[in-house]
Amino acid sequence: MIMHTQAHGEAVIDIRNLHTSYGVAVVHEDVSLSVHKGETFALVGGSGCGKSTLLRAIIMLLRPSSGSIKVFGQEVIGLNDEQGLPLRRRWGVMFERGALFSALTVAENVAMVLKEHTQLSPRLVNEVVALKIALTGLPASAANKYPSELSGGMRKRAALARAIALDPELLFLDEPTAGLDPFSASSIDELVQSLHHALGLTIMMVTHDLDSLWRVANRVGVLDGGRILGVGTMEELAQAEHPVIREYFYGPRGRAAQEQTWKKK
């Protein structure tokens, strides 16, 4: 395994010796990595390698077999729903398919989080909802639309508006550009960068989009065969000698994404 650039500062997420298995199927084997305050950390790997499963373990939607996951310095493995609630209020999650409630408008989807976790008056809830929708680049008219009335890119933005409703310190993004055309994907990348800087977020994203990696990730972890093969900047990983990493980052698609990024700089 290669371990290159180490981010400096406080570890917002610290995973040590994590094992996850379902019967005889091993998903994670001795996984260790850290995500540091203020960075955008991306987790990559082939389909079915356990990227989204790891994210779900971090946000307490499943329990690993053994190991440690600390978020904001607190061990999350073993916490029940009530014990984990204060932590959940400090992070936001955008799931791959948005997970918006189809029977609610965009505004109602965002407001639901505020009503559940705060004591804000209806007037203030409406003001915060409007602000979050505007922050994600949606027109004000989108607030009263249902998810089925939105384009794929607009649904992603609506899901992001809900994810940042509680002013989180930490944002999880599961395949934020999946299913989008190149133009829409690039717009989401720009939005993620904008929110990262404007709100001072720490971001952990799961993705297979090489263009996104070059655009937004400060560091990247490569997951394969249940193990972390390497962690580093995109430039470092593109020069790695490990065959799996090299093929991923310096194969034809990887070179094309790298060259496209350099052209824009």
**Cβ(161)–Cβ(150) below 8 Å:** no
d(CA 24, CA 22): 6
- Break the chain into its structural domains and give their ranges: 97-167
Q: Residue 7: phi, psi to the nearest 5?
A: -70, 150
Q: What is the pLDDT of residue 3?
A: 47
CA Rg, the chain, in Å? 18
Q: What is the pLDDT of residue 245?
A: 85
Per-residue pLDDT tens over the stretch 139-149: 999 999 999 99
Q: What is the pLDDT of residue 236?
A: 86
Strand arrangement of the beta sheet that strand 66-71 belongs to: 25-36, 11-22, 66-71, 74-75
Nearest to 59 by CA among 42, 29, 84: 84
**Which residues of the chain carry a pLDDT beneath 70?**
1-9, 97-98, 250-265
AA identity, residue 13 = I
CA distances from 58 to 16, 48, 106, 179 (A): 12, 17, 27, 24
- List all residues 6 or more positions away from 148 whose beta carbon is below 8 Å from its beta carbon: 102
- Relative to beta strand 202-206, strand 170-174 is parallel
According to the model, what pLDDT value does residue 10 have? 86
Residue 249's Cβ-side half-sphere holds a number of Cα atoms within 13 Å equal to 25
CA distance 45 to 59: 20
Contact 106, 133 (CB under 8 A): yes
